[in-house]
Amino acid sequence: MLKRLSALSLLAVFAFALAWVIRAQDLSVVYVTPQDNAVLRGGPGTSWDRLAVLPFGETYRATGRTIEADWIQIAYTGPLEAGARDVFTQDGVTYGWVAYWLLVWTGDILTLPIDGVGTVPTARVAGTTLILEPDEYIYEDEVDASRQVDNPFDQTVQVELTGRLGSENSGHFWLQFKMNGRFYWTGTWATGVPFGYERLPDRSYLFVYGRLGSQLRLENFRLNRMLADIGERWRALDRGQPTTCNNIPDDFRLRAYSFNPADLIREPIYGPSVTAIQNAVSHVNTAIRQFREICAQPGDRVIDSPTIQAGLDEIESAERHLNIVRLLIAPYERRDPFFTTDESANTEMMP
């Protein structure tokens, strides 16, 4: 009972920390960080001018997005490649575009200006549109009854959609559109489901989803495999069964590049998860060292119950912390937050 209470208490602490971090983030400004070397282009597509190569790990302020958010515009003040045109630069700031799948971000990308900062005259195909009736309810900025505003139209109008909240699979869901420079929401029970809505970015994917989350899943997988190995050896001893001292694992080490402190500053949502996996590593390594000490004893080895119980305690503690990791990262385990068929963005990754 004491162990179970301890685990629940620890989970409550992490859950509280997670909720606090979510509330503390400033979502009004969006920052992006390339996951790998990425090409900066003059417009949202691979046919636009190549301006520079953004190194991994640098963070930039986002200044715009395409309707489908498959390209993000950033404010860049670094050097341009030789021969790059300067028509995309204003007052020393170059407004270039990066394919979204190369980025992790903080903030609400749905609030970014559609088409970003205009530097050169251009045209684009209109996005998904919606017929808005004058008697339909609309909400400003957020899907919240307190944010309902008067519908300014006295006749049917067509608006361009810029985002969604949920999908048809969840029944009634919400659609975002832009009007007079501001974002509004309306419900699909009034408007129906427009064709092509699934290509719009979903606001439920509010937080970052990139390198740090992927590394957490990878390290969690690696550590679980080692825990299964050493855990089975201790449980065999507990059952009075023979086990082996061959190929005892070395101490587990988190990869040095997995959880860079700078990543956690940019992505504080993962802080509690990183703490939990670090605690799990500590318990796994203690169990490994205790087993190694048993195997180092000369001659016949008679293992007493307190020694076995101490090893099992470390295994159970590691399992509790890894369960916490799984619980905390589960809401963010979305492989791809946008539905897009544009494969051309895949050419943006640099070797």
Q: pLDDT digit string (tens) for 212-234?
A: 777 788 889 999 999 999 999 99
Residue 61, pLDDT score: 95
Residue 250, pLDDT score: 92
Per CATH, which fold does 27-124 belong to?
SH3 type barrels. (2.30.30)
Supply the angle between the helices 305-329 and 2-24 in degrees, to the nearest 10: 30
Q: CA 101 from chain center: how many Å?
A: 11
Q: What is the pTM of this model?
A: 0.52
* pLDDT digits 0-9 by tens, 152-192: 888 888 888 888 887 776 566 788 888 887 889 888 776 67
Q: Which residue type sits at 331?
A: P
Residue 129 has pLDDT above 80, yes or no: yes
Sign of CA dihedral 186, 68, 61, 42: negative
Nearest alpha-carbon partner for 35 in 212, 269, 256, 270? 212
* pLDDT digits 0-9 by tens, 243-263: 899 999 999 998 766 676 766
> For residue 349, what are the CA distances in angstroms to 25, 56, 168?
29, 11, 33
- The CA distance from 288 to 286, in Å, is 5
Share of the chain above pLDDT 90, in %: 34
For the chain, the structural domain boundaries read 27-124, 129-199, 211-332
Residue 2, pLDDT score: 28
Structure-block tokens of residue 74: 């950033």
* pLDDT digits 0-9 by tens, 282-306: 999 999 999 999 998 876 667 889 9
User: Between these two residues, 61 and 328, which has the higher pLDDT value?
Assistant: 61
By CB neighbour count within 10 A (0-12 exposed, 13-18 middle, 19+ buried), where does 113 fall?
A: middle
Mean pLDDT over residues 70-99, rounded?
A: 94
Residue 143 has pLDDT above 80, yes or no: no
Q: Band the pLDDT of 122: cuts 50, 70, 90.
A: confident
Enclosing H/E stretch for 174: strand 174-179
**Strands, E assignment, 42-112:** 50-54, 60-65, 71-76, 89-90, 93-99, 103-106
Q: Band the pLDDT of 346: cuts 50, 70, 90.
A: very low
Residue 239, pLDDT score: 92
Q: Band the pLDDT of 211: cuts 50, 70, 90.
A: low
Residue 7, pLDDT score: 42
CB 186 within 8 A of CB 177: yes
Residue 4 has pLDDT above 50, yes or no: no
Q: What is the DSSP letter of 344?
A: G
Q: Band the pLDDT of 335: cuts 50, 70, 90.
A: very low
204: helix, strand or coil: coil
